[in-house]
Structure 1
Amino acid sequence: MGLGLIASIIVGGLAGWIASRMMDAKTGIFMNIILGIIGAFVLNLILSLLGIYAANSWLPQLIVGTFGAILLIWVTRKLR
């Protein structure tokens, strides 16, 4: 069973918060949620193109979301 909308927001927010701490990004709670959700989406897309699928439960999605948010923070910094 997949994550619900509320659970996705919570996991995305937590993933974004972890990523912002790891990358020393000065983002607020709203941006943490956005980074985590978009990061999870982007990295899941990249992984699916490689034939890798993260389980649809909170822990694998937290890991994918965190690394996806880290990737987004890194790309944003490089583009500035």
Structure 2
Amino acid sequence: MGIIAFLIIGLLAGLIARAIMPGTQSMGLIATTLLGVAGSFVGGLVASLFSRDGRVFDLHPTGLLFSVLGALLVLFLVGMAGSRRRVRV
């Protein structure tokens, strides 16, 4: 898969994940793209566990779905890590 297609799928996955996740996320376009790319890696690793050939970087019809699920997981973990750093009064 080309790098441009990978970035576009990452951007779409990041935008969808941010729309699904409740609350506000103060991210720009680049951070959203990086979120989607990280979600693509996580989703690709999970999807490769269930596929027969085990290839991570192949383009599959469920690739965007697993990318969004992976981005939701990354966004949740980043939110949890960010809430621990704040001091609650």
> TM-score scaled to structure 2, two decimals?
0.71
Instruction: Tell which structure's C-alpha radius of gyration is larger.
Output: 2
Show the counterpart of 2:80. 78
Q: SS at 2:62's partner residue?
A: helix
Gaps of 5+ in 1: none
State the distance in 2 between where 1:26 and 1:61 align: 26
Q: SS at 1:27's partner residue?
A: coil
Poorly superposed stretches of 4+, deviation over 4 Å: none
2:40 matched to 1:40? Answer: yes
Gaps of 5+ in 2: 83-89
Structure 1 letter corresponding to 2:29? I
Choose which of 64, 67, 71 in structure 2 pairs with 1:65.
67
Q: Is the 8 A contact 2:47 2:66 kept in 1?
A: no
Structure 1 letter corresponding to 2:75? I
Show the counterpart of 2:13. 15
Name the Cα RMSD after superposition.
Answer: 1.9
State the distance in 2 between where 1:56 and 1:37 align: 14
Bigger fraction of residues in helix: 1
Aligned length: 75
Query: What percent of counterpart residues are identical?
Result: 31
Q: Is the 8 A contact 1:39 1:66 kept in 2?
A: yes
Show the counterpart of 2:26. 26
